């Protein structure tokens, strides 16, 4: 009896070993299949990404039905220029990402034929935000400044820091901004508004006026344009006044912030202030600014020739420029 029990136990032990070996083999096989599947998936994604990247290099035209204008990632036609991916001059043109392209193509699938796509709805909405032509003709430059600063499309200037402050993007999307740039008194009217709202007792307007905090950066960007610099070219005192007004405005906003429980204006728009100050210091041949630019050209990969063309100021550079601006204002008192 004892021998029978012993033989049965041996058989059970051998069976358990075989079962365990079988389970281990199945587990290893499943792991290998999983790895092979992942490698295949990655190879498919890499292949698809490479194919789209190669397609991005090819010239595309709006006549190519396989590449409709809204998925090309290239400047759109004039009638489509109010789209987020708009008709910007180089180097501001951005290519659509793979994710965006797929989303757009999905939104334009055959079963949705006849329904407006996302980009079409955006264009239609942006058209409703334009100032009617008959109003543009009769608006004074002062009125146009305020309407332009209050435009919802001004948010395009705040998506990311462009070398020109986003003015090309904004003016290419909003007819009010484009028209304001053409007004011969644009610089004086923008400066007048800027000085008025920079008064300490006017800064509380941020509680009542939407996006008021960003009006300062927008004014500084308008004052930084070639149009503004050309308009003030013959009046060095007025150009000095621009620098003085920006420095005083930042001081007033800093003082206002210190009187609040939490900062309202902060220093997030410092780069826009410094951009304007830098351009006017340059136009006035400030020795300290010229010295700073020369040193900056030696230290950085992008020198003066690329500043405000291929790149904007960094926050550290903006701090340095504003210090030079403050010293300049002290020297002309």
- Tokens (6 digits) for 314: 């960094």
The whole-angstrom separation of Cα 202 and Cα 160 is 28
- State in Å, rounded, how far the first CA of the chain is from the last one: 117
Q: What is the pLDDT of residue 45?
A: 41
Each domain of the chain, given as residue ranges in start order, spans 1-58, 60-128, 132-331
Give the number of other CB atoms < 10 A from CB of residue 292. Answer: 19
Q: Which residues pair with 311 in a beta bridge?
A: 307
Segment 212-261, tens digit of pLDDT: 889 999 999 999 999 999 999 999 999 999 999 999 999 999 999 999 99
Segment 142-195, tens digit of pLDDT: 999 999 999 988 887 776 567 788 898 899 889 999 999 999 999 999 999 999
Instruction: Count how many Cα atoms sit within 13 Å of the Cα of residue 188 in the half-sphere of its side chain.
Output: 12
Q: What is the pLDDT of residue 6?
A: 67
Phi, psi of 8 (to 5 degrees): -65, -40
Place of tokens 């204002």: 329
Least confident of 72-76, 94-98, 155-159, 227-231: 72-76
The whole-angstrom separation of Cα 33 and Cα 31 is 5
Q: What is the pLDDT of residue 184?
A: 96
Spell out the residues 6+ positions from residue 64 whose beta carbon is closer than 8 angstroms to its own. none
- Asked whether residue 77 carries a pLDDT value surpassing 70, the answer given is no
pLDDT band at 27 (very low <50, low <70, confident <90, very high): confident
Asked whether the whole model's pTM tops 0.85, one would answer no
């Amino acid at each position: 009896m004892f021998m029978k029990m012993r033989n049965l136990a041996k058989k059970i032990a051998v069976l358990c070993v075989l079962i365990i070996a079988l389970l281990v083999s199945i587990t290893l096989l499943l792991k290998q299949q999983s790895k092979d599947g992942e490698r295949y998936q990655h190879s498919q994604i890499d292949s698809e990404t490479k194919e789209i990247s190669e397609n991005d290099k090819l010239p595309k035209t709006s006549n190519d039905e396989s590449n409709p204008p809204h998925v090309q990632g290239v400047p759109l036609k004039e009638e489509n220029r109010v789209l987020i991916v708009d008709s910007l001059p180089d180097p501001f043109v951005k290519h659509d990402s793979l994710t965006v392209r797929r989303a757009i193509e999905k939104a334009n699938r055959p079963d949705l034929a006849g329904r407006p796509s996302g980009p079409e709805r955006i264009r239609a909405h942006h058209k409703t935000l334009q100032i009617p032509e008959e109003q543009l003709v009769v608006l004074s430059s002062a009125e146009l400044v305020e309407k332009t600063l209050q435009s919802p499309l001004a948010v395009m200037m705040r998506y990311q820091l462009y070398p020109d402050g986003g003015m090309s993007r904004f003016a290419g999307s909003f007819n009010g901004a484009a028209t304001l740039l053409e007004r011969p008194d644009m610089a004086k009217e923008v400066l007048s508004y800027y000085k008025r709202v920079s008064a300490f007792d006017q800064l509380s307007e941020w509680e009542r006026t939407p996006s008021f905090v960003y009006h300062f950066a927008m004014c500084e960007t308008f004052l930084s344009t070639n149009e503004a610099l050309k308009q003030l070219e013959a009046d060095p005192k007025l150009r000095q006044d621009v620098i003085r007004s920006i420095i005083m405005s930042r001081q007033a906003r800093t003082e206002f912030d210190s009187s609040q429980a939490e900062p309202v204006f902060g220093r997030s728009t410092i780069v826009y202030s410094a951009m304007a100050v830098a351009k006017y210091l340059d136009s006035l041949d400030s020795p300290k600014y010229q010295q700073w630019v020369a040193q900056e050209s030696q230290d950085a990969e992008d020198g003066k020739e690329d500043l405000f063309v291929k790149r904007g100021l960094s926050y550290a550079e903006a701090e340095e420029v504003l210090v030079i601006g403050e010293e300049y204002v002290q020297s002309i008192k």
